[in-house]
Structure 1
Amino acid sequence: MTDRPTVLLCDDSRALRMLTARQLADCGFEVVGEAGNGLEAVAQYRRLRPQLVLLDLVMPECDGRQALRDILAHDPAARVVILSSLGAENDIAECLRLGAKSYLQKPIDPAAMARVLHDASA
């Protein structure tokens, strides 16, 4: 058992997941699972019950918005932080209305990520 906050990392880019996992570890988080699409994200959340979810919006099979809805329907207390590309302001606002705790803009700034995730896990 770890005392570091656990994170489920969801993004369709394997390279981004690898980079972000290293950054998360450097910031004191433990990546307990990864997902490459929204369906995997929901399944992994149900199986792993991480303290935080870092969720990309644009993914195949089921986008991040729908995955957010499904995760929160399963667990209304889930702490989800959205990953977004530039130009997705309307999507970000919708996700915050749906219950996401915060968002991070891509490319991810490691210091901002640490701050946002520590706030979301508090």
Structure 2
Amino acid sequence: MTARPTVLLCDDSRALRMLTARQLSEAGFEVVAEAGNGAEAVEGYREHRPTVVLLDLVMPQMDGKQTLQALLEYDADARVVILSSLGAKKDIEDCLRMGAASYLQKPIDPEAMVRVLRGVAG
């Protein structure tokens, strides 16, 4: 049996993390860590080395761009999917240039999320 792709969820909304974790689990992913801010995400990545990171752009302490930079400095092959709200086009473009694998718009469409994460996970 093939191992399930692993995911680190990083969003400052606990409710969004809970909902997303359930949706991903039902779709065959294993959520190995959750983070409420960028610093926690970097720590969780180092500990769990997930297949994919689902990373919110707007967070306290370290925002999504800072977190993406820290993750890619730690592991240039990190696969990060950015979560953003409407109106963040420039930020999304910046993140893609920095090395993010893809992005998803909030509110998250569960089917699109699963499709994107499967594509990024390989």
CA distance in 1, matches of 2:95, 2:39: 17
CA distance in 2, matches of 1:86, 1:48: 30
The normalised TM-score by structure 2 is: 0.97
What is the RMSD computed on CA atoms of the aligned residues?
0.8
1:23 alignment counterpart: 23
Q: State the one-letter code of the partner of 1:112.
A: A
Unaligned runs of 5+ in 1: none
The normalised TM-score by structure 1 is: 0.97
Q: Number of residues paired by the alignment?
A: 121
Q: Following superposition, which runs of at least 4 residues in structure 1 exceed 4 angstroms of deviation?
A: none
Instruction: Within 5 Å, give how 1:9-88 maps onto structure 2.
Output: 9-88=9-88
Residue 26 of structure 1 and its aligned partner are, at CA, apart by 1.4
Unaligned runs of 5+ in 2: none
- Paired residue secondary structure (2:108): coil
- Paired residue secondary structure (1:62): coil
CA distance in 2, matches of 1:86, 1:27: 25
CA distance in 2, matches of 1:47, 1:4: 18
Residue 63 of structure 1 and its aligned partner are, at CA, apart by 0.4
Of all paired residues, the percent bearing the same amino acid is 70
CA distance in 2, matches of 1:107, 1:29: 20
